[in-house]
Structure formats: structure tokens, C-alpha cells
Amino acid sequence: AVVDRPEEIVAITFTRKAAGEMRDRILGALRRGADATPPQSPHEHDGWMLARAALERDAEFGWHLQDNPRRLRIETIDALNAWLARQLPVSSRLGAAPVISDDPGPAYRQAARDILLATGGKEPHAEHAAALLRHLGGRFSQAEDLLVAMLKSRDHWLGRIIRPGRMDPGELRATLDRALQHFVADELRRAEESLPEQGRAEIAAIITAAAENCPGLDWLACWQGHKDFPAPAAAELARWQAMAQVLLTGGGTWRKTLTKNEGFPPPAGASKARMIEILQDLAVTSDPAAVARGKELPVPAYDDQRWQILEHLLALLPVAAAALQVEFAARGESDYIGIARAALDALGAQEAPTDLALALDVRISHLLVDEFQDTSQGQVELLMRLTAGWAPGDGRSLFCVGDPMQSIYRFREADVGRFIRAQQYGIGDLPLEPLQLRVNFRSQAGLVAWVSDTFPRIFPAQDDMSLGAVRFSPSTAWKPALAGLPVHCVAVTARDFQAEAEAVRGII
């Protein structure tokens, strides 16, 4: 009702089926709007009024949307990427439009193999390939698998290691060290939160005493002279890992007893008895998983040997990505990441947009994104470039809808952390106003109440961007409760598929 052309509105979703359903809903609303009789329900009345306004605009400009629904720009994000890449085939580096491969694995593997076979040759990347193979003890298949895995996720790193103005090696190493330290600190913070606050000081005092009574346990020596509970900081990683070894079994469960191997040789006396009481309480109140993860955390800094192999990888990966592009071109194929990268190249950088980006800035006024919880980093970057220069109140709008509790596209590099980040900080320089849907229009009240009571214990207490974890969001039911229990739980032994099948047959 407010645009000069329907193509100024672009709606993006994930599947062709969803795009088709969205188009059908809009056309259905326009058909209802053509009826002069207003509907009775307030919700349907609002939709009818909006459709009437759109039809007036349609008649004014002669769009004939009901006869020409292809003017409604409703498409999948992959189709949008492909369209953008085709507009500027040279700057997108895509050339003729390729087919998106159903199985890009052979292309990944061939590109990786071509890179590794350069070892001993005169190509500039030969020494880096040789260094990688030496690091892996000459295991060619393992090096190949490593490069294949990196090529599958190249949208995570490609733009960072080949962009103009790259950091010098020293600055890059310091940046990656800080990232590693932040990662370790985040994990330790979760471990700290999993232990009851009132018992932490006592745990620390008992472990300190154990370390001082058993100087022969080298792994526990880091606790000597420290009676305070360790802070969730990378510098305290050794104490956290030693504490985890005291508290947890090798399988990651709370210990039921303690021996000299954990710093409690006989006669350990009251301190051992008290620690066993604490462990019994933890077994009831606390999940050991976060503390167990601390045992697996890496040293929070790159030593010279690790940094050297990382430098070789940083030099090798862009060459591997280029080899993959050549391989795809020979096959007349691409993958979703390749099409997405081509779309970004066609738009240019935010600070240096291409002619296509400048033209789209005029042609797109309203951008709507469905299932936003399933967007990847490359897709968020696409939205940033499409909305570069937009500002609140300038007549253009970005609308993103999604439910982070329903994220299912992890295999396509979706990360719920991006949803949380966009909710809090917006997309690029464009702030978003978060709105929370609090009414469930689909389920009866008994089921909504059961879910609202059960799921807060399954979901985390707080949102966590780095883990992609979201807290449960309760809702109010619109439909009344039905008679009887809303949910029937049937328990079978874990992984006993025969018993599960028989239980399902019995229910039917």
C-alpha cells in the first residue's frame, strides 16, 4: 500500500514450499479484500483492511497482482543469492550460472587432493602443504580430510583471512590468543555457575589441603598456597582442571568416593568425609557436564609450534578455496556457500558498494526475513550489505521473524547466537526493535501449561550467544483447555529400539 512497485518488497524464507505457502496466503488475503463485506473477527478485519489498501494501490498503478503473482518477490535465500550473483557475473567471479550440487563432497576432496599433491613442486603453496603433511606425520588422508572439513565451512573464515588490510602476523596471533582466552573464560564461567555458590569456598579449602598433603601429585600442585576458589579466567585453567579431576570420574560423573589418587590418602579423616558429602549433594543438585568440559579445554595461548602450523594453514586455505572454485567451474557446479559468496562479491563491501548494490538500495525498500533463527553468518552478512545505509525513520524497513527454540539448520551453519546478537544489537548499523509473541494460537491451554511447566528445566536459565543456547520463553494459550491429560509420557529403556517400536504399536 505504500510502494511504487511491488518488487520493492522482498520476502525471504528457507524452503520453496514455505515461499509458495507465503505467496498463497498473500493472494488469499487479496481475494478476501476484494469482497466488500468486512469479516467479523478483529484479526481478520485488520488483514481485510490491509488487503483493501493494497488493492487500491494495485488498481492505481495497474499491477494486476492477482493475475501476475510473480511480481511478488517471495523467494528462498539461496534463490536470492543466485539472482544477485547472476546480475554481475564478472564481479561475483561466478561466470555462467552454475548448478547447485546435491553432493559437493567429491569437488571438496579433489580440490584438497590437488593442493596436497603440490608438495615438492614449485608452486608457492608447496612448502605450506609439505609442512601440514609433516605435522600430521605424513598421513595424506588425514590432511585431505582436514582440508575438506575447512572447505565445507569456508564461509566462516574466507572473508577474514583474504580481506584487504589483513593484520600482520604478530597482531593476528595476539588477536587469536585473546579469542582463545575468551573462549576458555566463557566455558569456565559456565562451570562456575554449575556449582552452588555457598559451597565453593569449602571445596577450595579442602582441595588446597589435599594438594599440600600430597606434594607428589604433580597435577594437583597448582593448588598449593591457594585457598580461594579459582576465578573463571584463562589464567586459572590449571586449577579448574585439577579440581575437575578431584570431583569427577573419568566418565564425567560426580565421584562417589575418594582415594589417594585424588589427594586423599588414608587416614584422610574429616576432610575426605566432608568432600564426599559435598559430592553427594552435587549429584542431586548439579549437572557435572560444564565442569567436565573444563578438562578438555585447550591451553589458552598458541605456543610457537602450534602458531607455526597455523601460519602454514592460513597461507594454504585461500589457495584451497581457489582450487575449489576452479574445480566447481570445471564441473559447472557450485555449493550454497559458493553462491552466497558470489552474491556478496556482486554487492561489494559495505564501504565500497558495487553498481548493483547502489541500484538495489533504490529498488528494495522493505526486506522481510522468515525463520531468522536459521540464518548463517554469510546470510547475515548479505542482510547487512542489502541494508547498508538504511536508517530508522527513512521509510525503509527490515523485519525478521523467528523462534530460536526451533533452530534446525545447524548443518547449514545456522547459529542461534546470531539471532540473540541481532535481537540485542541489530544487524550492521541498523537497530531492531525486539517484539516477543506471548500468545500461543495453535495449542489448547492444557498442553501449553504442561510445556510451560516442563521445558524451563530443559532449556538453559540464560541466553548464551557463544553456545547458541536460548532460555525457554513461556506463552499464554488462546484456545481453552480440553478434557483429560494433555500429555502422556511413555518410558522405554534408552536405545532399546525394539521396545520403543512395541510401545508405539501398543499406543496405536
**Residues paired with residue 444 on neighbouring β-strands, in sequence order:** 479
Confidence (pLDDT) at 388:
85
Confidence (pLDDT) at 414:
54
pLDDT in tens, 188-231: 998 998 999 999 999 999 999 999 989 889 999 999 988 899 99
Q: How many CA atoms lie within 13 A of 398 on its CB side?
A: 26
Strand order in the sheet with 397-400: 73-76, 9-13, 366-369, 397-400
pLDDT at 54 over 60: yes
Which residue from 300, 305, 303, 174 is spatially nearest to 238, judged by alpha carbons? 300
pLDDT in tens, 308-336: 999 999 899 999 999 999 999 899 888 88
Q: Please report which confidence band the pLDDT of residue 359 belongs to, taking 50, 70 and 90 as the band edges.
A: low
pLDDT at 245 over 80: yes
Contact 348, 84 (CB under 8 A): no
397-400 and 366-369 strand pairing: parallel
More confident residue, 113 or 43: 113
pLDDT at 408 over 80: no
CA-to-CA dists, residue 457 to 56, 119, 405, 451, 462, angstroms: 51, 54, 14, 10, 12
Give, to the nearest 10 degrees, the angle between helix 270-285 and helix 237-247: 90
pLDDT at 121 over 60: yes
Confidence (pLDDT) at 107:
96
For the entire predicted model, the pTM comes to 0.70
pLDDT in tens, 158-186: 877 776 556 677 888 888 899 899 999 98
Which DSSP letter does residue 381 get? H
Contact 185, 236 (CB under 8 A): no
Confidence (pLDDT) at 252:
93
Confidence (pLDDT) at 454:
92
Confidence (pLDDT) at 229:
95
Which DSSP letter does residue 387 get? T
Confidence (pLDDT) at 86:
76
Segment 92-110 shows an average pLDDT of 79
Mean pLDDT in the chain? 88
Residues in CB range of 321: below 8 A, 6 or more apart: 151, 154, 158
Contact 150, 140 (CB under 8 A): no
**Residues paired with residue 398 on neighbouring β-strands, in sequence order:** 367
Contact 33, 52 (CB under 8 A): yes
pLDDT at 407 over 90: no
